[in-house]
Amino acid sequence: MVTEARRRRVHQVVSNRQQGVVVLEDIHDPHNAAASFRSCEAFGFQRVCLIFEQEEPFNPRKEGKATSASANKWLDFCIYGSTEACLNDLKGEGYELIATVVDPQAESIFEARFETPKIALLFGNEHRGLSPKAVEMADRRVTIPMVGMVRSLNLSVTVALFLYEVTRQRRLLGMERYLLPPEERERLVQDFLQRAEG
């Protein structure tokens, strides 16, 4: 039985869900993915696509519950065995694909504009980064400039920084146009109420 307070909380959370997809390609450590799920849930990004083309697949609903603080209970996951299939599906749905890369020639996150409602942020393997296929298929490449001795950040930190910057820009532009459409919100409310009972 879902309490009235829980029901209000579900409506409040769903009303702040944003359009956009986070794509995690060939993540090796489920705990790194789970920490990323926590940022997705906290910033209101509902959909996460996981690609397992080279790495051993894992179930995002079962792995890293402590790391994700149960965020994985409240997200929607799509699992793919092919980068090309995943990105083709997203392109077909009208998403702008943004590859996050370690490359000084790419757009800097400090200058990039994230104005498209249907945005898909692509994050790669902890050591190799995104595959050449993912970078090739992306519409844009964006980097976080590094000025220290290390060349990259932890995966979950990178995810959090990008989701923060996208959300910051959307709030300045007017968040209403970036929220999930009303019919999707209604569906998600009913879905969340079922999850709350589980």
Q: Which residue carries 């959909």 as its tokens?
A: 47
Burial 167-180 (b: 16+ CB within 10 A, else e): beebeeeeeeebbb
Q: Is 49 helix (H, G, I), strand (E, B) or coil?
A: strand
As a whole number, mean pLDDT of residues 19-25 equals 98
As a whole number, mean pLDDT of residues 34-61 equals 96
Residue 95 predicted with pLDDT over 90: yes
Distance from C-alpha of 18 to C-alpha of 117, rounded to nearest angstrom = 8
Residue 54 CA: distances (Å) to CA of 51, 61, 120, 148, 167: 9, 20, 21, 30, 31
Label residue 2 by pLDDT band (50, 70, 90).
confident
CATH 3.20.19.10 at 18-177, yes or no: no
Residue 52 predicted with pLDDT over 70: yes
- Determine which of 9-18, 38-47, 54-63 has the lowest per-residue pLDDT on average: 54-63
**E-strand spans in 26-179?**
45-51, 76-80, 96-100, 107-108, 119-123, 140-143
**158-161 LR contacts (CB < 8 Å, sep 24+):** 158/100, 158/123, 159/22, 159/36, 159/39, 159/40, 159/121, 159/123, 160/36, 160/39, 160/43, 161/109
Amino acid 1: pLDDT: 75
Percent over 70 (pLDDT), the chain: 96
Residue 193 CA: distances (Å) to CA of 8, 13, 62: 10, 12, 20
